[in-house]
Chain A
Amino acid sequence: MSWLRRNLFSSWPSALATLAILWLALRTLPPFLDWAILEAVWRAPDPRACREAHGACWAFVTEKHRFILFGTYPFEQHWRPALASALLIALWIYSSLRRSWNRGLPLVWLAGLALIGVLMWGGVPGLPYVENERWGGLILTLLLASFGIALAFPLSILLALGRRSRLPVLRAACVGYIELIRGVPLISVLFMASVMLPLFLPAGASIDKLLRAQLALILFAAAYLAEVVRGGLQAIPRHQYEAAEALGLSYAQTMLRVVLPQALRLSIAPLVNTFIGFFKDTSLVLIIGLFDLLSTIKVSLQDPAWSGFGVEAYLAASLLYFVFCAAMSAYSHTLERAGPDKLLARS
């Protein structure tokens, strides 16, 4: 009772706001629940049941879930992208644990990505070959984001070091690259990869569409990550550099053994935030015609029998993306709360 008084009715404006919110909730929630749950159609072999009902047509999602999750990957091989997705998610969870932040982590990633490559492409006994034009759905979103970040990260460290270098040509090249990419929308970088890049390759050479999009995402992410890494580098006090110099360490030794291990640990929370943005941004590959998670949902809606259920379809898409992004954002909050001392501590 005292909680209610303090938090909902502390003053006249507050009490009015509480009443207004309750009134709005009473007006909107019952019809919404009717639509979303009570009168919704959950399973239906054909869309007529949906068209007759007044509620949401979740049957669209249950009917199309295989295509939404796996795209045009051969139907009887769907366990492969499913297993690959689970492996990728496991890799992410493993990397989020503080005790796995060491030199072994890149090796674990290398092994994991190689295993996923074998699983997805196949071509070994027992696994028929599947060309990457047929990859689609959730695994494509996860792969674009994972490979994108895994390859952009080393590049971004080089760019950040270059931007802080004392050599003017190197610094100008890195600043120019970072500011150019950050100044233009991602879609123009994707256009560059999808329509411009083929023109820049020697006659006869070609890179397929998926790899071109992946390349664009790597180049794009590297510029944003470089700024985060630069922030971490700036947080390292001068005396650390001076101590390294006094010990007679070379530039490479100073960076690899003293500065980077601390700078990267300090920038993990902003790195996760950048990654959330990047994960969301992978949905833009739809515009250049790749079959990511959002794209398979959009294509499912083009089936004339099931057209007109866009609201349900995009709510389902929102929920899927939300689960991934909210988990990562909760993780970055715990890191921020842990504070720099805990992040720097060796485990």
Chain B
Amino acid sequence: MKARGLALQAALAAALALLAWWLYSNAAANLAARGISSGFAFLWREAGFEIGETTFAAYSAADTYLRALAIGLANTFRVAAIGVVLATLLGSLVGLARLAPNWLLARIAAAYVETVRNIPLLVQLFFWYAVITDSLPPPAEALEPLPGVFLTNRGIFFPLPGDVPQLSGFNFSGGAALTPEFAALLIGLTTYTAGFIAEIVRAGILSVPRGQVEAARSLGLGRRAELRHVLLPQALRLMVPPMTSQYLNLTKNSSLAVAIGYPDLVSIANTAMNQTGQAIEGVAVIMAVFLTISLSISAFMNWYNRRSALRGLAA
């Protein structure tokens, strides 16, 4: 039995090594035939394309591919970070609303969850992008739902303290602006992920035994104190692992930006691949970045689980 196991494993290792060698030699031959030099040297060459929007750092077409990819990564982090915060808020509200004693509120929350979860995220992104670019008015006839906030087909404009957006020429200037691409991606990621977070919040709260609530009531705690001191601390412990995986999903899903033209890491890597033909390196960069994010988050999760297990609270 032992010998058979060893032989099986040796055969598997040999087969994997053979496969890797076969793929490597094919790739080397193909790259040589196409005159593509493999390796990451292209990262220091001039990118030569513009990027629609940048986060934190300046960029021009004369910069390197490396800088372009870094800008893309920063854009990914920007949409993911804001998305995580907004999705958590919206998801918690919807999850609590599903448990509300008000029938109408609970039904609406349930319908929301069913709707966003049963439609592909990509369809929702295209929908929001179409809502912004096809149905919002041009800047000259901008909608102003709140004073200083303007909705137009060129983007969404917010006032900053002492800096209110002003219509100048064909577009607004001043204040803070969200491009249509960023706004569509952010709205899509937020509303989609909130549907999943709502279910986690609901399951977390339902998981707290009824006796705990009754005990809190008999101690004379108000509804708010009951939520804050009894329900949430226990529910949160169960909610953290699935929530982290939703945050990870949101970050991975932000790669759909490539379909609506928001310059995230994936869409910049895609442009770089098309320009240079360095497909292997481009895909490797994307995978390495996302793997790093995923593995760090699962390392954090393992640490968190160990910590709460030590306290003897997590089962």
Query: Do chains A and B stick together as partners?
Result: yes
Residues of A bordering B, CB below 8 Å: 7-8, 10-11, 14, 17-18, 21, 166-170, 173, 179-180, 182-188, 191-192, 195-196, 198-203, 276, 280-281, 283-284, 286-287, 294, 298, 308-311, 313-315, 317-318, 321-322, 325-326, 329
Complex contact A188–B26 (CB within 8 A): no
Select A311's contact among B105, B127, B286, beta carbons within 8 Å.
B127
Q: Which of chain A's residues have a CB closer than 8 A to the CB of B118?
A: 276, 321-322, 325-326, 329
Complex contact A318–B130 (CB within 8 A): no
- Known contacts A7-B103, A310-B130, A191 near B283 by CB under 8 Å: yes
**Closest B residue, CB atoms, query A195:** B279
Q: Which of chain A's residues have a CB closer than 8 A to the CB of B117?
A: 325, 329
Complex contact B120–A200 (CB within 8 A): no
Q: Which of chain A's residues have a CB closer than 8 A to the CB of B246?
A: none
Complex contact A184–B290 (CB within 8 A): yes
- Known contacts A200-B26, A309-B134, A322-B115, A183 near B283 by CB under 8 Å: no
With A and B bound together, what is the CA distance between A18 and B12 in angstroms? 64
Q: Which of chain A's residues have a CB closer than 8 A to the CB of B266?
A: 185, 187-188
Q: Which of chain A's residues have a CB closer than 8 A to the CB of B130?
A: 310-311, 313-314
Complex contact B135–A311 (CB within 8 A): yes
With A and B bound together, what is the CA distance between A192 and B30 in angstroms? 16
- Known contacts A283-B123, A315-B127, A173 near B12 by CB under 8 Å: yes
Task: Map CB proximity to A onto B37-61 as digits: 1 under 8 Å, 0 otherwise.
Answer: 0000000000000000000000000
Task: Map CB proximity to A onto B93-135 as digits: 1 under 8 Å, 0 otherwise.
Answer: 0000000111111001000001101111111101101110111
**Closest B residue, CB atoms, query A9:** B102
With A and B bound together, what is the CA distance between A170 and B10 in angstroms? 9
Give residues of chain B (64-97) contacting chain A, Cβ–Cβ below 8 Å: none
Complex contact B126–A169 (CB within 8 A): no
Complex contact A203–B101 (CB within 8 A): no
Q: Which of chain A's residues have a CB closer than 8 A to the CB of B291?
A: 180, 183-184
Complex contact A185–B252 (CB within 8 A): yes
Residue B23 interfacial (CB < 8 Å): yes
**Closest A residue, CB atoms, query B15:** A173
Residue B160 interfacial (CB < 8 Å): no
- Known contacts A7-B102, A7-B103, A322-B118, A185 near B135 by CB under 8 Å: no
Q: Please name 20 further chain A to chain B contacts, defined as beta carbons within 8 Å, in addition to the given A17-B102, A185-B290, A200-B23, sorted by A numbering.
A: A8-B104, A166-B5, A169-B12, A170-B9, A183-B294, A185-B252, A185-B286, A186-B252, A187-B255, A188-B290, A191-B273, A198-B30, A280-B119, A287-B258, A294-B126, A310-B134, A311-B130, A318-B119, A318-B123, A325-B119
Residue B280 interfacial (CB < 8 Å): yes
Q: Which of chain B's residues have a CB closer than 8 A to the CB of A199?
A: 26-27, 30-31, 279-280
Residue B167 interfacial (CB < 8 Å): no
Interchain nearest-CB distance for A305 vs B (Å) = 15
Complex contact B134–A286 (CB within 8 A): no
Q: Which of chain A's residues have a CB closer than 8 A to the CB of B30?
A: 198-201, 203
Residues of B bordering A, CB below 8 Å: 5, 8-10, 12-13, 16, 23, 26-27, 29-31, 33, 100-105, 108, 114-115, 117-124, 126-127, 129-131, 133-135, 252-253, 255-256, 258-259, 266, 270, 273, 279-280, 282-283, 286-287, 290-291, 294-295
Interchain nearest-CB distance for A340 vs B (Å) = 19
30 A–B contact pairs at CB < 8 A? A14-B101, A14-B105, A21-B104, A166-B5, A167-B5, A168-B9, A169-B10, A183-B291, A185-B286, A188-B286, A188-B287, A192-B283, A195-B282, A199-B26, A199-B279, A200-B23, A200-B27, A201-B30, A203-B29, A280-B119, A284-B256, A286-B122, A286-B259, A294-B122, A310-B126, A310-B134, A311-B127, A314-B130, A318-B124, A321-B120
Select A318's contact among B5, B127, B255, beta carbons within 8 Å.
B127
Of A173, A183, A315, chain B has the most CB atoms within 10 Å of the CB of A183
With A and B bound together, what is the CA distance between A315 and B287 in angstroms? 33
Q: Which of chain A's residues have a CB closer than 8 A to the CB of B127?
A: 310-311, 314-315, 318
With A and B bound together, what is the CA distance between A186 and B8 in angstroms? 32
With A and B bound together, what is the CA distance between A8 and B105 in angstroms? 9
Complex contact B9–A298 (CB within 8 A): no
With A and B bound together, what is the CA distance between A18 and B266 in angstroms? 44
Complex contact A191–B8 (CB within 8 A): no
Of B122, B258, B286, B287, chain A has the most CB atoms within 10 Å of the CB of B122
